[in-house]
């Protein structure tokens, strides 16, 4: 079993949402955190919050789709703390929209998903994850670190209407642990650096809780436990997986029993 105390977590999207909640969880358990975000204001607020909790924190403003920024993030973690034990590339966005949208009266397509909306989601949710994982894994290997690469998928990976861009990236997150684990196994690294993904359902972030309440009620009607998943519950799952060294190469769902219907 691994211990969180004194271990170092590198978390992208650490300025808010699940990323910040994971950073809080890590600090509470005695770990050290490197948080990265593209928003300077969110990053500054998160750093102050974590520092007030007594945490050892390094905040790095970074654009995770930039190769140099990703490399510098990993290097900064090593320079400051000497090791990386958890890699959590949690930065992500949505740009929802239907592939094509026919008019109800004419039956002709009047709108379609913009190429820039498709590519932007792929860049941040997929390319950004690739770069973060690649650069951090290099440092972990070179500095003999032991720990976990934890990706974040979603129940959207099962196929959610209106999210062909987002769902595609989250489906990719579901297969990456198998690929990375197989590659590390070939190189004799899989016992030292594990890879998994966690796949939340509807999570009670401030954005979700602040949405149209009728729409939120409809969402909750699909969740057997009758409520949103709390960000702290996702963070705790990551922590449990980190500590349990038998958990590797898989995607672990945390969705309150949610099953997507035929209409996604």
Active site amino acids: 166
Q: What does the block give as tokens for 12?
A: 């992208």
Report the 10 Å Cβ neighbour count for 260: 15
Distance CA(158)–CA(168), nearest Å, equals 9
| CA geometry: angle 239, 243, 249, nearest 5 deg | 90
Q: Determine the distance from the C-alpha atom of residue 218 to the mean position of all C-alpha atoms in its chain, rounded to a whole number.
A: 25
Closest CA to 239 of 196, 206, 202: 196
| CA geometry: angle 56, 60, 62, nearest 5 deg | 155
Distance CA(193)–CA(218), nearest Å, equals 41
Q: Determine the distance from the C-alpha atom of residue 195 to the mean position of all C-alpha atoms in its chain, rounded to a whole number.
A: 13
User: Could you tell me the CA-to-CA distances from 39 to 43, 61, 123 in Å, in that order?
Assistant: 6, 7, 17
């Amino acid at each position: 079993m691994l211990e969180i105390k004194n271990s170092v977590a590198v978390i992208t999207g650490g300025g808010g949402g699940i990323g910040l909640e994971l950073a809080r969880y890590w600090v509470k358990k005695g770990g050290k955190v490197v948080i990265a975000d593209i928003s300077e204001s969110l990053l500054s607020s998160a750093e102050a919050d974590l520092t007030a909790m007594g945490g050892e924190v390094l905040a790095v403003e970074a654009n995770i789709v930039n190769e140099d920024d990703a490399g510098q993030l990993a290097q900064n973690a090593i320079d400051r703390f000497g090791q990386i034990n958890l890699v959590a590339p949690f930065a992500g966005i949505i740009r929802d929209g239907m592939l094509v949208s026919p008019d109800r009266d004419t039956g002709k397509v009047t709108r379609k998903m913009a190429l820039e909306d498709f590519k932007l989601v792929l860049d941040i949710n997929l390319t950004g994850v690739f770069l973060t994982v690649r650069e951090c894994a290099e440092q972990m290997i070179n500095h003999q670190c032991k720990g976990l690469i934890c990706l974040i998928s979603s129940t959207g990976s099962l196929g959610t209407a209106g999210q062909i861009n987002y769902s595609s990236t989250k489906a990719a997150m579901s297969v990456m642990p198998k690929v990375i684990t197989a590659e590390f196994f070939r190189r004799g690294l899989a016992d030292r650096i594990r890879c998994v993904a966690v796949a939340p359902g509807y999570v009670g972030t401030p954005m979700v809780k602040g949405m149209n309440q009728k729409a939120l009620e409809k969402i909750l009607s699909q969740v057997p436990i009758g409520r949103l998943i709390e960000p702290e519950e996702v963070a705790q799952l990551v922590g449990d997986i980190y500590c349990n060294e038998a958990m590797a190469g898989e995607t672990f769902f945390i969705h309150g029993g949610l099953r997507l219907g035929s209409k996604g």
